[in-house]
Amino acid sequence: MNTENDILVLKNLEIGFRKGRKIIASLLSGMNVSAGRGELVALIGQNGIGKSTLLKTIVHLHEQLNGEILFNKRDRLDYTAAEFSSLVGFVSTEVIRVGNLTVRDLISLGR
């Protein structure tokens, strides 16, 4: 794992769910992954193994259980919300009831 030109680095990452301080489900642990500028990354696997949870953890919709998530060599938690939203966009596959949202508002939900 060469982190010199990487824009995303996961170091010893553990993802899953906790209730309060207690871990109730650890889905994946010990992940060490990096992605460089211009790289295409595919995330594949069976249903229910944690792909969506991993993505939600990377974009800070879930807290990681352990490990680090770095964007441009900087911890994800060190970014302000405005800084982070300018780096990362996320569009979930979950069905969202949009009601009277405009297309612009709906797309903005991903940021």
Q: What is the pLDDT of residues 3-57, one digit of tens each?
A: 578 899 999 999 999 888 888 888 999 999 999 988 999 999 998 889 999 999 9
Which segments of the chain does DSSP mark as H helices, in order?
51-58, 81-87, 103-108
Question: What pTM, to 2 d.p., does this model score?
Answer: 0.78
Rounded-to-integer distance, Cα 103 and Cα 71, Å? 28
Which segments of 13-102 does DSSP mark as H helices, in order?
51-58, 81-87
CA-derived radius of gyration, the chain: 15
Cα angle for residues 60, 31, 44 (degrees, 5° grid): 80
Strands laid side by side in the 66-71 sheet? 22-36, 6-19, 66-71, 74-75
